[in-house]
Structure 1
Amino acid sequence: MALSREEISARYGAALFGYCQDTNSLDNVYGELQVLKSAVLDNPRLSEVLSSPVYSIEEKKQLLKNISADFSQEVQQFLELLLDYGRFAVLPDIVDQFNMRYNKLNNIAFGKVISAVKLDDDQLQKLGQAYAKKYNLKELKLTNQVNPSIIGGVILEVEDYIIDGSVKTKLKKIRAQLVENI
């Protein structure tokens, strides 16, 4: 039975993460994987060539050697492993799985702020720092989504948590109380 893309990425991501923990190379490999993922996503042809049966394994290994020359030994060996097992097309998903484990270990979370107007980077950073401090996170990285229908305030979504401080929601609560008291 063939493994799904999710199962493959979860297994390889976990294996790479465990190996890097054992070799004390987590931070270095994390940085290199971000560069690698970006390069693969910006150049989809690269993944196609390294996954294609048209090219010989020797040609693929030479191309991979040229690409990964500046990377650590851990990343080079991992890329060779992916090539040998025909898993190179799953690399971005594997990096995502690695990142998930890395962020959890380092107490880093990601979230979204929904606001009526666009927030600048300083506002996002201050909001992220306040939430991170309150919930014992090392860091919270936020993105901003604009939704004028919330009127004012913000809605903060971090993983499974939602903090709704929007004016729209507060007005709904006031209206419900008024209707209830009539």
Structure 2
Amino acid sequence: MLTSKVAKRYAQGLLDFTNESGQTDAVFSEMKDVVKIMSESADLNKFFLTPYIDANKKTEVASEIFKSFSLVSQNLIKLIIKHGRENQLKNVAQQFINKVEDIKGVQRITLTTATQISNENIEQILRSTDLVNQNAQFDLEVNVNPAILGGYILRVGDQQVDASVKSKLNKIKKDFQLN
């Protein structure tokens, strides 16, 4: 997923500010809530993306939705809306989460399988590779994609192990075409 420079800059600014004020953990939790709320509410996304609704109305609605948040998070959300970047709110929150997790050494792992698999199989896959640091914390996202036909695709950070049936069939196909 491509993330805009805007989201990265806002997230870095927020991280710098929260590190100085010692509020990183509280804001981290709130940014997780922002991502969750924005992911689950299509209506809120439509509202924020509607160009003919002015920034003051959007700020009022955001203030009401996020009223339980700290002043730092509320001010960030207001600033984003004031500058017309409300379409980047979820991305800013996700980038902040990623930056804090990077500092804490949390690995982001994505496992894609053709069908739903058990937790025991997931653990076995994670133990079978050197990419996963068994002593570190990790954030695991499991996706189901029937298009890979079988096997799995494991992505840890910027490295990937493709043990899917589809990629193996494509490799065989290329080998036949070359010979």
| Shared fold (TM-score, shorter chain, > 0.5) | yes
Q: Match of 1:179? A: none
Comparing 83-92 with 44-53, greater Cα deviation is found at: 44-53
Q: Confirm or deny: 8 A CA contact 1:124 1:142 kept in the other structure.
A: no
Q: Confirm or deny: 8 A CA contact 1:20 1:29 kept in the other structure.
A: yes
Q: Match of 1:19? A: 17
Question: Number of aligned pairs?
Answer: 162
Q: 1:158 to 1:80 in 2, by over 3 A?
A: same
Within a 5 Å distance, the mapping from 1:9-88 to structure 2 comes to 9-88=7-86
Q: Confirm or deny: 8 A CA contact 1:37 1:95 kept in the other structure.
A: yes
Deviation of 1:163 (Å): 4.5
Q: Confirm or deny: 8 A CA contact 1:51 1:87 kept in the other structure.
A: no
Within a 5 Å distance, the mapping from 1:87-166 to structure 2 comes to 87-113=85-111, 118-125=116-123, 127-128=125-126, 131-133=132-134, 137-143=136-142, 145=144, 147-150=148-151, 156-163=154-161
Comparing 25-34 with 78-87, greater Cα deviation is found at: 25-34
Deviation of 1:128 (Å): 4.1
Deviations 1:30-64 (A, max 9, x none): 22112212222322332443454533443333222
Distance 1:137 1:7 in 2: 29
Q: Which amino acid aligns with 1:60?
A: K
Partner SS state of residue 132, structure 1 = coil
Deviations 1:142-175 (A, max 9, x none): 525565554xxx6533123345678997xx9xxx
Q: 1:85 to 1:165 in 2, by over 3 A?
A: closer
Q: Give the alignment's Cα RMSD to 1 decimal.
A: 3.3
Kindly name which structure, 1 or 2, has the bigger radius of gyration based on alpha carbons: 1
Q: Match of 2:174? A: none
Could you list the structure 1 runs, at least 4 aligned residues long, displaced by more than 6 angstroms after superposition: 164-169
- Report % sequence identity: 19
Deviation of 1:73 (Å): 1.2
Deviation of 1:8 (Å): 1.0
Question: Unaligned regions of 5+ residues in structure 1, if any?
Answer: 173-182
Deviation of 1:129 (Å): 6.7
Comparing 154-163 with 83-92, greater Cα deviation is found at: 154-163
Q: TM-score, normalised by structure 1?
A: 0.69
